């Protein structure tokens, strides 16, 4: 039985992420979408780790061999603890590739399994969590970019003033 881990911050999960999980589920017996706490991005979080896990679980509820779990520390340690055979990452463009290669190499040095890259589907290659938050923040329609539950959660978070990613403009 093969197990792949698809790690990321998923703030929030997009239809591009869902597509990568669905395709990974055809290649591996089980897939764990691992929600990571990336300290370097903590100031830019819109959703808590608990909210990100819940949104991902809702988005992937129809996939019985997909689990959503928190990665509490190093990805390599998580993969070892869970018995993962592979890491899966989605690539939208060359910039993603340039950022992911060093991570794949260091993870392998730390004892993680091999990283497999899946090219983004053309319909999702332009979608990122940051772009989705920016569109929603400015009142744009994100329904074609994220699962329905995420669109609702974005609206609620922004309406409640939980947007921590962009400081309020200052009066001059």
Question: What tokens appear for 151 in the block?
Answer: 């669109």
Q: Which entry of 57, 82, 92, 108 is annotated as an active-site residue?
A: 92
Classify residue 101 by its DSSP letter: H
- Catalytic site residue 52? no
| CB of 49 closer than 8 Å to CB of 22 | no
3-state SS class at 8: strand
Q: Which entry of 22, 23, 41, 162 is annotated as an active-site residue?
A: 41
- Catalytic site residue 170? no
| CB of 10 closer than 8 Å to CB of 33 | yes
- Catalytic site residue 89? no
Q: Which entry of 45, 52, 124, 129 is annotated as an active-site residue?
A: 129
Provide φ and ψ at 53, rounded to 5°: -65, -45
Q: Which entry of 17, 52, 89, 124 is annotated as an active-site residue?
A: 17
CA angle 124, 132, 24 (to 5 degrees): 40
- Catalytic site residue 41? yes
- On the question of a cis peptide bond just before residue 70, with omega within 30 degrees of 0, the verdict is no
Q: What is the sign, positive or negative, of the torsion defined by CA atoms of 163, 128, 76, 3?
A: positive
- Which residue numbers are catalytic? 17, 41, 92, 129
């Amino acid at each position: 039985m093969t197990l792949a881990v698809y790690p990321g911050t998923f703030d929030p999960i997009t239809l591009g992420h869902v597509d990568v999980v669905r395709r990974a589920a055809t290649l591996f017996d089980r897939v764990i979408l691992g929600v990571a706490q990336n300290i370097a991005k903590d100031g830019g979080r819109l959703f808590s780790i608990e909210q990100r896990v819940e949104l991902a679980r809702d988005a992937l509820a129809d996939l019985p061999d997909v689990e959503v779990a928190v990665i509490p520390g190093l990805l390599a340690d998580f993969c070892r603890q869970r018995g993962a055979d592979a890491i899966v990452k989605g690539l939208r463009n060359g910039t993603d590739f340039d950022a992911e290669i060093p991570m794949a190499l260091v993870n392998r040095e730390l004892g993680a399994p091999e990283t497999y890259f899946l090219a983004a589907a053309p319909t999702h290659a332009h979608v990122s969590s940051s772009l989705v938050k920016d569109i929603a923040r400015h009142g744009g329609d994100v329904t074609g970019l994220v699962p329905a539950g995420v669109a609702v959660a974005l609206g609620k978070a922004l309406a409640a003033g939980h947007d921590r990613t962009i400081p309020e403009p200052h009066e001059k």
